[in-house]
Each structure stands twice: as C-alpha cells, then as structure tokens.
Amino acid sequence: MGAVIVFPWMFTVWMSAFDWKIGTEAHFVGLENYVKLFTNRRFLESVGHTAYFTALAVVVPLVLGTVAALIFHREFPFRGALRAIFTMPMMATPVAVALVWTMMFHPQQGVLNYLLSLVGLPPSLWVYSPTLVIPSLVLVEIWHWTPLVMLIVLGGLAALPTEPYESARLDGATEWQLFRFITLPLVAPFLVVAAVIRTIDAVKAFDTIYVISQGGPGTASETINLYLYLQAFAFYNIGNASAVVVVFFAIILALALLLLHVRQRTKWAAG
C-alpha cells in the first residue's frame, strides 16, 4: 500500500528536476522545469481552461442535483425504478458515453442540431467551435455526474428532522420559505461534500474531453490533464510532465483544502 502511493510520488518529484525525454540522456536541471512552466503560455492557458470547465461542471450539477434530490425525496409510485434510471449515467463507461455524444454533437448529422431545429433555433457547431467547446463538454459532464450530487443530497434530505417543518407550517410558512430557511441550511454540509467531490473530479476530467475534442479545436479545450497527457505520452517529455503533475496536485490539494475549510465553517454555523 505504502509502496503504491510513496514510490510514484518520490519518482515524480525526483524526475521533475531533470530534463529527460524517453530515449535520451537525462540532465539535472533543478527547478528549471517549474520556472519554464510559469512562462509557458500553452500551460497557463490550460490552467484557465481547467478553471472555466471546473466552475461550470461544479455549479450546474450542484443546482440540478439538488432539484433532482428534492423530487426523489418525495414518495411516489415507481420511485426506486425511476431513481435507478436517473443514476445510470454515473456508472456508464465514460468512453462509450463520450463516443455517443461525439455523434450527437456532429454539426451536420448530429441529433442535437436536429432537436434545436425542432424548437426553431439555428444549428450550433458544438465542440467544433472554439468558444462553445468547453460549455459543450460541460454538458456531457453534467449528464454524467448530476446523479452523484443527487445521491449525496438525497442522503442529506433523508436525515432531516421533521419537527422544524411542522412548527414552521403552523406559523404559515410557504414551501419556498421551508426550503430556503430550513432545508437549505440543514443540507448545506452535504452540498459542500458534493462540491468537494465534484471539484476534484472536474479538475481531473480526462476521458470525455480526450475522446470528444482531444483538447481542440486547436488548444481551445486543452485542460491541465490533457496538456499533461500530451507532454508525457505524445512527446515522452517525462521531466516536464512530472513538474506538471506536482503543480497539478498542488492545485487540487489547494482547492480541496479551501472547500473543506468552508465545510468546517458551515458545520460550525449549523451547530
């Protein structure tokens, strides 16, 4: 267990201090890989793409997942079966899903443009447009991962006490007030857990982006993970890629700590 976690890290940190491509001589360069990274325009742009992708891929599933959880929290016929259908995307193989979305995004024969035309909207270039590629990829991410948020929030709703609702109803509170002032504060810790998980996963998103757009058009959807993959396994630039891994992990760690800090505060506020 220790070897599985410790060895790759020691190797990565050590390698990040070398200028080494597979098949060539390795040169010790100290921190030069890191210094270069912070002046590397392509890398810096990939950080921006990652931030944009992550922001959308966290916020939208969080909102939709909460709405879905409120629906599935109520009692209704076939609830179990319908919930099973709703959660299916989350377990489906990402590559298989990505292939189908690739076909759906196709500007000429894609079914999405046909659906747009049915409601009178002009066709879109989807992932073939440099400006729309990231929102389009986020659409796949939303489809894939909203169920996970729903399940986490549903777990929170199941644990809610009933007394505050009864007394608030007696005081004439509306459904919206019940949600805003009782439900939301009580499920807030679960929303934070969902946000942490979603953030970590969105920052690391790889399969769907790689299959659908390969970081393109050009480098318009190249995230840190895509850039890392190309450096390591297209250019075999192990030294540089190792430096990217270290920076990438630092970013993920910082985000997770930030969100966990928020969690501590919400817990504290909730008593």
Partner 1 sequence: MTAAAVVRSPSRARTRRRLRKAGFWLSVLVIISPAILVFLWMLSLSLKNEIDNLAYPPVFIPDPPTLKNYVQVFTENSMGLYFWNSIVVSGGATLLALLVGVPAGYGIARLNAQKLTVLILIARMTPALSYLIPLFTVFQFLGLNNTLTALVITHLVITVPIVVYIMAGYFETLPRELEEAALIDGGSAWTLFRYVALPLARPGIVVGTILAFIFSWNNFVFGAVLAGRATRTLPAAVYNVLTFEQLAWGPLAAAAIIVTLPVLILTVVIQKEIVAGLTHGGVKGS
Using the minimum distance from each CB to partner 1, give the nearer residue, 46 or 225. Answer: 225
- Of 55 and 88, which has the nearer Cβ to partner 1? 88
Alpha helices in 74-172 (DSSP H): 79-91, 94-105, 111-118, 133-158, 163-170
- Residue with Cβ nearer partner 1 (99 or 164): 99
Q: What is the number of other CB atoms lying within 10 angstroms of the CB of residue 170?
A: 8
Helix (H, G, I), strand (E, B) or coil at 68: helix
- Among residues 94, 124, 130, which one has the least CA distance to residue 108? 124
Our measurement of the distance from residue 209's CA atom to the centroid of its chain's CA atoms, rounded to an integer in Å, reads: 11
CB of 196 to partner 1, least distance (A): 9
Nearer to partner 1, 108 or 131 (CB): 108
Strand partners, 21: 237
Between 133 and 195, whose beta carbon lies closer to partner 1? 195
CA atoms within 13 A on the CB side of 112: 16
Q: Whose Cβ is closer to partner 1: residue 118's or residue 268's?
A: 118
Shorter beta-carbon distance to partner 1: residue 164 or 214: 214
Binding site for partner 1 (CB under 8 A): 1, 4-5, 7-9, 11-12, 15, 22, 64, 67-68, 71, 74, 76, 80, 82, 84-89, 91-97, 99-101, 103-104, 108-109, 111, 114, 143, 147-148, 151-152, 154-155, 193, 197, 200-201, 204, 206-207, 210-211, 225, 228-229, 232-233, 238, 241-242, 245, 248-249, 252-253, 256
Contact 248, 240 (CB under 8 A): no
CB of 218 to partner 1, least distance (A): 20
Question: Rounded to the nearest 5°, which phi and psi values hold at 161?
Answer: -75, 155
Find the shortest distance in angstroms from Cβ 126 to partner 1. 15
Give CA–CA dist 154/69, Å, rounded: 5
Q: At 237, give phi and psi (nearest 5°).
A: -90, 75
User: Least distance to partner 1 from the beta carbon of 248, Å?
Assistant: 6
CA distance 247 to 249: 6
Instruction: In angstroms, give the least distance from the CB of 256 to partner 1.
Output: 6
Nearest-approach distance from CB 89 to partner 1, in angstroms? 5
Q: Which one-letter amino acid corresponds to residue 164?
A: P
CA distance 206 to 227: 10
* Residue closer to partner 1 (CB basis): 93 or 131: 93
Coil, strand, or helix at residue 40?
coil
**Cβ at position 176, least distance to partner 1 in Å:** 15
**In the bound complex, what is the minimum distance in angstroms from residue 252's beta carbon to partner 1?**
5
Instruction: For the beta carbon of residue 37, count every other beta carbon within 10 angstroms.
Output: 18
